[in-house]
Structure 1
Amino acid sequence: MYRDQGYEVVYLDETWVNKNHSTDFMWLPSDSSDAPKIPSGKGKRLIVLHAGTTKEGLIKGCDLVFVAKTKDGDYHNEMNSEVFLDWFENQLLPALKAPSVIVLDNASYHNTKTEQTTTPNMNNRKAVMQEWLQQHHITFAQSDTKPVLYEKIKRHKPKIVYQTDELAHQNGHVVLRTPVRHCELNPIELIWA
């Protein structure tokens, strides 16, 4: 549908690689001094974020590579919405030459709500819930309990809008999310593999 309308399809995702990453087997002479001295997977971890299209491959100027603060664990702990949204707005969007459909997964930092669509939850203090209700001109009694206040909030929750969607729309693009746990629908995963 989007391709028929002239949209370019852009795939993006992040991955990681260790500084000393190597394959288990290499073609090197047995007396070679070029063989790695450090075991594969040891050393600094680099986090890589990039985007590409089927026509262009990886898009020039859209690479973000940085050293992780920790050497092990899940790289998703190192990536956050601030880093991602900065890259999305200041590297990816300016690099897109035509109206595009931007395909991404459901990582939490891809799905940061806009301030207008963020609502209190049951973990918030009662005063925060009351303040939100006042700002939205929704009546409540001072004696209302948190569960009662939260029910009122749920009934008046605005439709969720994500910052990535809003930024993309402002620049003539559309965001399309893959279903949860279906990374095979994003071809950039094959590059990372």
Structure 2
Amino acid sequence: MDSIDFIAQRASYFRKLNEIRQNGTLIFYHDETWFNSGEEKRAVWVDDRGQGRIRTTQGKGPRLAISALINENGFHHPSIDIFKCDQEHSMDSMHFIQWISRTCSKLRKEFGRSFDYVTFRNATFKGYALSITIIIDNASWHREVTDDTKPPQRSWRKQMIVNWLSDHNVIYAGDISKAELLQLAYSNLPKKKYKAEEEAKIYRINILRLPIRHCTLNPMELAWANMKTYIRDRNTKFTLAEVNKLAQEWIDNLDATEATSYMNHVKQCEATFKKADMFAERIEEELNDDDDEDQYSVYSADTDDDDGDDE
């Protein structure tokens, strides 16, 4: 987490996050998770009648996936998507893009169109609606690029690469090899555009991506952990219908106080990262200054020795 790439990602993310917080943007965090029909306590469970048993399953079985949004007021219930899946295919890009499209449409209808006409003192004005941002992570199904920005592949036939170059207005000689065409294409790749962002733009909604491998900055992680604990404590039938019902119960009962505590915890994590990154930068600067002084001292000593030799 202390590599230059991670530090730079955090700095960029925090700068954008501070900006949207300050301008009054409505912010939602997104995440997916899944749970099995066999979810139960780690060691032993006891039901309301005081009866129980030692854990006998591995917590496996048929699986449900859930995709949702959360902010300080709790879950955004109209956008919650719970669906049956298997362990290998819990989510894919097509399902996610369809969910993004439906959710952005609902959000824009709920919080106003991209612009609304308002009347003030007998005059009509064109006023822009509330700005909305969805914060997502970098799961592979969140990062599918648009067809026009996908790079050509080595598995493509030569003519397909030629067509790609023509479509992107890249000039090429007619007698060059497939390898040369690929190199030419790779040196002229367009800036990546992601399908999720492009779909959200239709509804004037922005997507902000978390730094890679920074799930601690997503309050949904706390929500999912508590939801699964709730399910495991109460799951006695071990069916998809039962775990679905328990998940819905927990989601419905999550209030603004609990949701706000998740947001506050994430803000504490943000502050810790910021402080650590600033400290690391200051230490590096001090070490670099020390190295510069040491090099100057060595240079001065060498110069003095040379002067003595000349004498």
Counterpart in 1 of 2:175? 143
Match of 1:88 in 2: 100
Tell which deviates more after alignment, 129-138 or 83-92: 129-138
Superposition deviation, residue 30 in structure 1? 8.1
Q: How does the TM-score come out when normalised to structure 1? A: 0.84
How far does residue 102 in structure 1 lie from its aligned partner after superposition?
0.9
Distance apart, 1:167 and its partner CA: 2.1
2:80 corresponds to which of 60, 63, 66: 63
Q: Deviations over 1:133-154 (max 9, x none)?
A: 1223323234322221122112
Q: Which has the larger radius of gyration?
A: 2
What residue is the counterpart of 1:45 in the other structure?
63
**TM superposition score normalised by structure 2:** 0.54
> C-alpha distance in 2, partners of 1:151/1:112?
22
5+ unaligned residues in a row in structure 2: which ranges? 1-18, 112-129, 226-311
Contact 2:31–2:67 at 8 Å: present in 1 too? yes
Give the partner amino acid of 1:14: E
CA RMSD after TM alignment: 2.4
Shifted more, 91-100 versus 152-161: the winner is: 91-100
2:92 partner letter? N
Runs of 4+ off more than 4 Å: 34-38
Distance 1:168 1:182 in 2: 23
Correspondence for 1:26 among 42, 45, 51: 45
> Structure 1 64/29 Cα, relative in aligned 2: closer, same or farther at 3 Å?
closer
Bigger fraction of residues in helix: 2
Counterparts of 1:96-111 in structure 2 under 5 Å? 97=111, 98-111=130-143
Contact 1:52 1:188 in 2 (8 A): yes
Shift of 1:162: 0.9
1:31/1:173 CA distance change after superposition, 3 Å: closer
Q: Which AA in structure 1 matches 2:202? A: Q
Number of residue pairs the alignment of both structures matches: 186
Match of 2:287 in 1: none
Tell which deviates more after alignment, 36-45 or 11-20: 36-45
Separation (CA, whole Å) in 1 of partners of 2:131 and 2:169: 39
Secondary structure, counterpart of 2:208 in structure 1: strand
Q: Does 1:180 align with 2:212?
A: yes
Structure 1 alignment gaps of length 5 or more: none
Report Cα offsets for 1:107-159 as digits up to 9, x if no partner.
Answer: 12111212222221333222211111122332323432222112211232211
Task: State the alpha-carbon separation in 2 of the partners of residues 78 and 113 from structure 1.
Answer: 20
What's the CA shift for 1:22? 1.3
1:10-47 CA-partner distances (Å, limit 9, x unpaired):
11111110112111333447873x76996251321111
**What is the distance in 1 between the residues matched to 2:167 and 2:61?**
50
Where 2:78 maps in the other structure, the secondary structure is: coil
Q: Distance in 2 between matches of 1:95 and 1:84?
A: 16
Q: Which residue of 2 aligns with 1:155?
A: 187
